[in-house]
């Protein structure tokens, strides 16, 4: 079965001024969809029909197949990213996640400041990440399509897309503003907390 574009977990207008319906329409409906379509075309040609998305990403990495890796990893990265966002309801981390954040960074605000710094400092296209590295929280970033799925020491918790297509419509070239507004207002902390079980990878996977 070919991979499909997952539906957004909220309406296109639900993220308000922080991420417009127009951004979501292009980013999800066109950019993400293109990665899905290319992954299907390439995986079929390369004898990987029937493999799950995560299996396709790992096979592409092992074979050094950059076009297949880029498209399949971007399909997974975006499928994860949409779930990291939620309508603005002044949500903040609670419970175990809040305790871990306070231990590692001092406070949620300090975590957000560090994540913003990572997102803004990442040169050119890529993704800023909060990951679980064994039992510790870690902030990092990955270049282009690279993904935690290809790194054993990275269990995904939260990501921010810092490709220009993620923010140009709403924020023009102002990546710092985009990072601050999105991280401060529309993060789905419940989803981040769920991922503390180390199974975030499965939440953006698709069967083959
Ligand atoms: Fe993107």
Q: How many domains does the chain have?
A: 2
Residue-wise burial string across 123-145, b where 16 or more C-beta atoms lie within 10 A, e elsewhere: eeebbbbbbbeeeebebbbbeeb
187 in the same domain as 127: yes
CA 80–ligand 1 middle distance (angstroms): 11
Asked whether residue 3 is domain-assigned, the answer is: no
Q: Phi/psi at 164 (nearest 5 deg)?
A: -60, -30
CA dist., res. 43 & res. 38, Å (int): 8
184 in the same domain as 160: yes
- Counting DSSP H helices and E strands in the chain, the numbers are 10, 3
CA 1–ligand 1 middle distance (angstroms): 24
Q: Is 10 exposed, middle or buried (0-12, 13-18, 19+ CB in 10 A)?
A: middle
Give the model's pLDDT for residue 1. 67
Residue-wise burial string across 57-87, b where 16 or more C-beta atoms lie within 10 A, e elsewhere: bbbbbeeebeebbbbbbbbbbbbbbbbbbbb
Low-confidence residues of the chain, pLDDT below 50?
Answer: none
Which residues fall within 8 angstroms of residue 129, CB to CB, at 6 or more apart? 139, 140, 141, 142, 148, 154, 156, 157, 158, 159
116 in the same domain as 195: yes
CA dist., res. 40 & res. 45, Å (int): 9
Element at 159 (helix H, strand E): strand 155-161
Q: What is the domain range of residue 182?
A: 95-200
Domain boundary among 42, 57, 83: 83
CA 135–ligand 1 middle distance (angstroms): 28
CA 8–ligand 1 middle distance (angstroms): 14
Q: pLDDT digit string (tens) for 41-84?
A: 999 999 998 999 999 999 999 999 999 999 999 999 999 999 99
165 closest CA partner among 17, 13, 24: 24
CATH number, domain at 130?
Answer: 3.55.40.20
Q: Phi/psi at 130 (nearest 5 deg)?
A: -105, 120
How many residues in total does the chain contain? Answer: 208
Which residues fall within 8 angstroms of residue 109, CB to CB, at 6 or more apart? none
Taking the alpha carbons at both ends of the chain, their separation in whole angstroms is 6
CA 95–ligand 1 middle distance (angstroms): 30
CATH number, domain at 38?
Answer: 1.10.287.990
Give the model's pLDDT for residue 171. 98
Give the model's pLDDT for residue 208. 87
101 in the same domain as 74: no
CA 163–ligand 1 middle distance (angstroms): 6
């Amino acid at each position: 079965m070919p991979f499909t574009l997952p539906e957004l977990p909220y309406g296109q207008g639900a993220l308000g001024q922080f991420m417009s319906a127009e951004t979501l329409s292009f980013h999800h409906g066109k950019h993400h969809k293109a990665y899905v379509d290319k992954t299907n075309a390439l995986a079929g040609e390369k004898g990987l029909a029937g493999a799950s998305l995560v299996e396709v990403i790992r096979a592409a990495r092992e074979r050094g197949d950059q076009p297949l890796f880029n498209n399949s990893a971007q399909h997974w990265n975006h499928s994860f990213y949409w779930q990291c966002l939620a309508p603005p309801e002044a949500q903040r981390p609670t419970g175990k996640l809040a305790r871990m954040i306070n231990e590692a960074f001092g406070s949620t605000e300090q975590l957000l400041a560090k994540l913003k710094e990572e997102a803004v400092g990442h040169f050119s296209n890529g993704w800023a990440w909060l990951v679980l590295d064994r039992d510790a929280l870690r902030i990092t970033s990955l270049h282009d399509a690279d993904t935690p799925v290809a790194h054993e020491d990275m269990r995904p918790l939260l990501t921010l897309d810092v490709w220009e297509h993620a923010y140009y419509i709403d924020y023009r070239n102002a990546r710092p503003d985009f990072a601050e507004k999105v991280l401060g207002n529309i993060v789905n902390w419940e989803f981040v907390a769920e991922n503390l079980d180390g199974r975030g990878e499965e939440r953006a996977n698709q069967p083959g």
